[in-house]
Structure 1
Amino acid sequence: MLALAVSCAAGGTGDGGGRLPAAPTGVTATAGSATSVHVMWNAVAEEEAVDGYEVYRGTTKVEEVPGSQHMVDVTRLRPSTVYAFTVRARDTEGRLGPPSREVRARTPAAAVADRSAPTAPSAPRGRAVGSRAAQVSWSASTDDRGVVSYDIHQGGAKIHSVPGGQTATVVTGLRPGTRYVFTVRARDAAGNVSPASPAVPLTTPGRDDGRATAPTGFRAAGRRSGGAYFLDLSWVPPRADGPVTEYELHLDGRPATSLVYGGNAPRDRATYSFYVGREAGVTHRVRLRARLPDGTWGGFSAERTVTTGAAGAETPGGGAPR
């Protein structure tokens, strides 16, 4: 392993003969509470074939995330302690690239018996910065012990975090022509979280036809079991800046169900099966879309048409994803 790390730093290649992933850039570490630090980094370029990232505290690996994710909360830390973090990219063959530059964060002192949350951030404002970023600012919250960090949310998803002394940030990784609604919450050293700020709606300029965010390789087939008919679905999740944990399935043009994954959402091919009735010869149209890490819905997959009880019933339908 040591020899591999040296080879990475020198820009060589590993046993597979391919180029190793580059060191992640733009790494930051921000204390989120007395016992947690929020670590973020820029995604390594797609052509590097990154399968995952490993986050190290000193020389100890403390977190491992999929290649689509580039932020993580490192928890179970000690109050009033300085920690040093680095991030390494891992390719599809399991080889590690060189470590990023080291960043440091100091956790604040523990707040004894603090059950009082900060006030909500006020007067939030936002504006698009080009088609893929937005600047969000707010007025500071107050807290009896002090605000340690601010969390920025899009919909129900936490997408960014900044130190408590900061009241503005730029959120990146957005999509052109998309409406976003941001809120901000303050957090103190004890981990108490404020109510959300008023919502900040904005729309990025440009156009997005949804193709880049749609599930691909979508397949649907009918199956009979126990006198009932089911649709067996499979698809490849869209590439996104974080894990995709929720999907909305549309049947015959209307929302039918939501799929929410827990701990480990599928990254390669996902599958799902659901009941559609007991009658043969019924034709159904089915498609699905993903809720992206930025809190918005991505584009729809291709639509498939399946007839219950028919052999080889899957047929393309609906043309290109919409």
Structure 2
Amino acid sequence: MEGITVQRPHARTALACSAALLLATLTACGGSAQADTKHPTVPEGVTAQAGSATSVHVMWERASDNEGIAGYDVYRAGRKAASVAAGKLMTDIDGLAASTAYTFTVRARDAAGNLSAPSAAAPVTTPAAAPADKEAPTGPTELRGEAAGGRTVTLSWGGSTDDVGVTSYDIYQEDSRIHSVPGTRTTARLTGLRPGTVYTFTVRARDAADRSSADSDALDLTTPSAPGAPDSTAPTGLRTKATARGEESLVDLSWDQPDTGGTIPAYQLFLNGEPTTTIVWGGTPPTGRATYRLTLTDPPGTRYSLKIRPKLPDGKWGDFSAQRTVVLPG
């Protein structure tokens, strides 16, 4: 019969032996992947701060691993309470009891499932429940700070008041909470930042009923560039003004253009972290301070965060400006 190949027993045996010999040869020469058995380093700097009578905010510093960190596991008294992805260095643990002492540890985890040893335990005691706390705290005042190197900044602010008491202060960077400190402190030290980058910080106070204050005034800080790195290409002095016009809202932006060694042909405008429009000049690009008017049709009270970045003379996008927040007027 044509088209059918019949293997004799001795031929099948020879093929099996050849496959076994090839596998043995590859294994002997290092052809098979080595299992990852190395454990990540232990997370350091673990802190636990009561956010309310029933929640605790746990933070830690980044760990390292020979193949890369896949995530972190947070333990309460030795039992896993939460797991987060590798990019997060904090989490909130809810559902706790008021006026209760807790301890938290953190373990790093790699893609092979290897866990680090537990971190040092971070103790915390939740405050008493405050059912009579019906008012949010006042907003922090006079936010100020300075860059202490390319990767660290220090912040300080005027304290808030509350009808019962301030439990904690939360530090936000572009509307994302990145740090918390106890309500008895009005300073914070932030690490893990990038050199040559503009950061916009705000602070909110929080009470035991988990109510947050309004934002403090925004503070822009630029970390120094790394040695030998090019200067920042971020626009500076970004200001916004929102006015109502019938059913529309007009947002006027103005900013100082960066020195890029050439003409900036366009800017990209981001709303709430998403690219919204490209600002292209109708004629000769302006020099010095630039302006742009944005028209929005969202309802009054809608909140937006805005930032821009320039298109550089070489065609690449430059650094982001500081972020500004606007609330559409009625």
User: For this structure pair, what is the TM-score category when the shorter chain's length is used for normalisation?
Assistant: 0.5 to 0.7
1:153 Cα shift? 0.7
For residue 74 of structure 2, the aligned residue among 31, 44, 55 is: 55
- Cα contact 2:270–2:307 (8 A) shared by 1: no
Does 2:84 align with 1:65? yes
- 2:174–2:200 contact (8 Å) kept in structure 1: yes
- The verdict on how the C-alpha distance between 1:209 and 1:161 changes in structure 2, with shifts beyond 3 A counting, is farther
Query: 1:59 Cα deviation (Å)?
Result: 2.0
Aligned to 1:89, which of 92, 108, 114? 108
In structure 2, give the amino acid aligned to 1:145: V
**1:264 alignment counterpart:** none
Which of 127, 133, 151 is matched with 2:146 structurally? 127
Whether the 8 Å CA contact 2:309–2:317 is kept in 1: the answer is: no
Q: Does the C-alpha gap of structure 1 residues 48 and 150 become closer, same or farther in structure 2, counting only changes over 3 Å?
A: farther
Question: Any unmatched runs of 5+ in structure 2?
Answer: 1-33, 232-265, 275-304, 320-330
Q: 1:298 to 1:59 in 2, by over 3 A?
A: farther
The one-letter code of the counterpart of 1:97 is: S
Distance 1:42 1:150 in 2: 19
Distance 1:145 1:257, change over 3 A: closer
**Amino acid aligned to 1:194:** S
* Alpha-carbon distance in structure 2 between the residues aligned to 1:112 and 1:320: 51
Counterpart contact for 1:209–1:299, Cα < 8 Å: no
User: Under a length normalisation based on structure 1, what TM-score does the superposition of the two structures give?
Assistant: 0.61
Mind listing any 5+ residue stretches in structure 1 that lack a counterpart? Answer: 1-14, 211-252, 262-294, 301-317
Q: Cα RMSD (Å) of the superposition?
A: 3.2
Tell me, in whole angstroms, the C-alpha distance in 2 between the residues paired with 1:49 and 1:23: 13
Q: Which has the higher contact order (CA 8 A, sep 6+)?
A: 1
* Deviation digits for residues 237-257 of structure 1 (CA, Å, limit 9, x no counterpart): xxxxxxxxxxxxxxxx88699
Q: In the alignment, which residue of structure 2 is the partner of 1:143?
A: 162
Pick from 40, 51, 56: which aligns with 1:37? 56
1:104 paired residue among 118, 123, 139: 123
Structure showing greater radius of gyration is 2
- TM-score of the two chains, using structure 2 as the length reference: 0.59
Q: Contact 2:40–2:66 (CA<8 Å) still a contact in 1?
A: no
Q: For residue 47 of structure 1, report the CA deviation from its aligned partner.
A: 3.7
**SS of residue in 2 equivalent to 1:130:** coil
Alignment CA distance shift 1:146-1:177 (3 Å): same
User: Which whole-Å CA distance do the structure 2 matches of 1:151 and 1:93 have between them?
Assistant: 35
CA distance in 2, matches of 1:47, 1:123: 44
Change (3 A) 1:80 1:296: farther
Q: Distance in 1 between matches of 2:82 and 2:141?
A: 34
Pick aligned residue for 1:159 from 171, 178, 195: 178
Residue equivalent to 2:248: none
Identical residues among aligned pairs (%): 48
1:180 Cα offset (Å)? 1.3
